[in-house]
Structure 1
């Protein structure tokens, strides 16, 4: 992790801001940046996909439309890009220099939302930075100033009401099962009850009492979906006096009784392609689902049931999901998006990177009332794993070490089994071991390791798999230079022919039943094909 350095300077009433570097977040690793200038500022705007950023040991989810702003002197930053993550990273300086904390954008929470206009401006700024036009010499400064002004305007617009409202909503979210009143919350916010009611309803679309009831009923639905709680016990948990009253309120909000809701075949929306794949594995077609490019090629769903975003993500997401009329929404823990969907249906959150794909699959099967189908699927999968291990035992004997590399434009990544990307197959199902050099670098603790492309030979393994290679001309040139380097040629895996350039990134990004099955088959076909070809037989493993 790169720790940004501290410094001091003076404040000036008229400051001018100049970009020093603008880069695409797709391929940029903040934790690996070693040339961030002291006394500069960082502005990061996410324009698509999602990821996680760690600021001073606190993790924040990043989705389209979120912004990070901080001074280079104040924070340690570690960025973990996830699915289709892209955006714009800007490092800029101020003249005259400002003292720490004087940046007008760096106020309060470092990660917050920006307008769709800001996302558009950031994308245009990146294009002009990368391909400057000779006839527009001031285009970068003009767009950058417009972007800063838009971000500041948005911040100023929402700061007055959002500051106390966010605190109130956070308090309600934690204490909704207690006897809360509008007067108590208005006093807590430091505003009049009338102003509280107007602002609250404008922000949530509901009155204070309606919002409390909705939170309680959504929590009841979540418990019913994932457990079989006693109705009276559940009522007490939610702040209701008895089960019959809970049942009456439940029917008012949901339209059916708790028992009927538990029994019915649910209309499900999946906001992550891993969860969509879990549903398809137990033969459930979600009313709306996110599909990876690899899954789309399998033609697993008609176009109208694929979740896509146009314009503002928040607006598009709400409209698309609401139109599907779901009984339950399955998502990772994304507080902003999940709160947005509260009026539509309960959101069952599966903790990101804290549950293996099997646990997620089994939890989704419980939600969908398909536990037996999931158990049968896993039994068939385990039989296939057993057959694969018998074959490897016959061909290889003891497994030895293996490593999976994802190679980006300038850096490469490898993962522990808890992070997926095929490592759960190698280190879990097939019994290979991570090389000791990875363990010494803290792979099991951190979950992944990032190195420059030319440092890959420093982590030798008996089997080397590459699941993605760079797509740009410069990246491919770096990759070719690696393959031609003496340090690569000396690797035991290369000399013995145990190097497998698979280059199927979309298949190996999934962490779900269908992707794991495909990854297992791909690994086995690669390993056995090499062995049989060396033995003058062509008999790749297939089942």
Structure 2
């Protein structure tokens, strides 16, 4: 008879079990002959061996005992336990006595406890001691097993009813895990399954002290092997993963509770408020207190060249950036928002528009914007522009708008999918290239990275001209000369003009008068489309949406 079915037949409703009594037995302290007799009782018992070796004798049948073994002894069974001499350590174990509540038939609603035929036959057949088997069980991770037992034993002495209830809750959780892991239907886990179990353990016990050595030992791996395979699955080192779980949970507590910062730090497993605050800022980019405020009130934010992300989340910035040559991002429609010219390296805030919070991307040093760190708390976006979804998520996180992210991303993806379907009917393999033209340079954008490649070639499925793939080689952009331009025989050209190097208005358009330009196939066929500089030379869900709208207007 297999072991988990045997327990279920003995205890058809295991959730009715409660912990009646618990003790820790050390044979070194028990008696001289190192033998203990646990007499027949009305309680089921569980023995969890924590140290040493020995044997358990029941009805002249002997079972070996050693560290890590768990034995279930049914009620009405007497067992004698003996420690093996000369093993270097004495036998030690937890003994748990279980009481099972009985359910009586409720005549008023006709809902008696149901006992299956199999259970009835089994229960009828255990009238003799020989019919009561000893059942070996298993629990992993072993450290979590011992930790739960230690906590239950320590709390057992209390007379407080809430503490007693806590013991029973811990017991129920432990007992459920014990039965589930001992189910004979469950195959022996492979290394990946054991690692996933370890990852779940971290998720359940992040608030407790966790070491890599214990995690590795619990699933039978060396520290090096555990760390290597853990990173392969999660992308993080074990302790980095633990801290990530703790910090994500702390975000929830900061949003949903009024608990003090030091209380939240302790609740998620950090030893001090100072260390928690330092780790939180490293992880989230802002302090725990600021994070909480942003989730509870509107934020006056200045986010140069990140306004697209801020506005997409429903937050209007207190200022919008502009540039002496390029102007402002008119596609955002922020006509009533004051401008801040980032090209003036010494520009300052007016008293009426000092922000409460500043967000900067990786180009902040180009505009000398980090000088404003003393004005307001400053968040630095670490993601590359191509990873706009992650930028949107981190922006939402620090501004308290997490609930909007999925709707924004979902709307864009639906828009792109519909456009891709329409374009596939019209384009049928025709090739495309994108050029940024200034008075001094011709810039060809690649098909994998940059402001345009991921949108037009990946999201919309348009086909880049062969020279685009050959020349850019996964670069964001490259400069090309007139000779290379002459080889760009794309069926369609998207172009935008950069006025940054123009000495006078119109200098950037002189290329259009050259013979090399006029001989291009796309020019001859009238398939050249001029697009807005600011909406195409930007990352962000709004700017990418504008790109899709432009392409549909031109090509579908």
Interval of TM-score (by shorter of Structure 1 and Structure 2)? 0.3 to 0.5
TM norm structure 2 = 0.44
Structure label with greater radius of gyration: 2
